Amino acid sequence: MTKKDMIKLIQKREAELFLELKKTDKVFGSESEMHKRARSAWVGVKKLMEDLGIKSDLQLPESIEVGEMILEKYNQTNPV
């Protein structure tokens, strides 16, 4: 596996974990045990990425889905 492949794999995993985090927040709430576990998993990978200087890939399908979820939540809490 090349360094580039490793970086892509880490980015993909971070995006998957962030999507899972947002889904558990939406379904179970931010104080639920499921959400806390999902947050811990995501934070571990995110900190590793920061230590290695790897940026999130916002073009991944999971990242796009998270962006849509965040925008939807924002629009619900801030009607025009």
76 pLDDT tier (thresholds 50, 70, 90): confident
Structure tokens at 64: 């796009």
Percent of the chain with pLDDT over 70: 100
Q: Which residues contact 6 (CB under 8 A, 6 or more apart)?
A: none
The string of pLDDT tens digits covering residues 26-53 is 999 999 999 999 999 999 999 999 999 9
Query: Whole-model pTM above 0.75?
Result: yes
DSSP single-letter state for residue 32: S
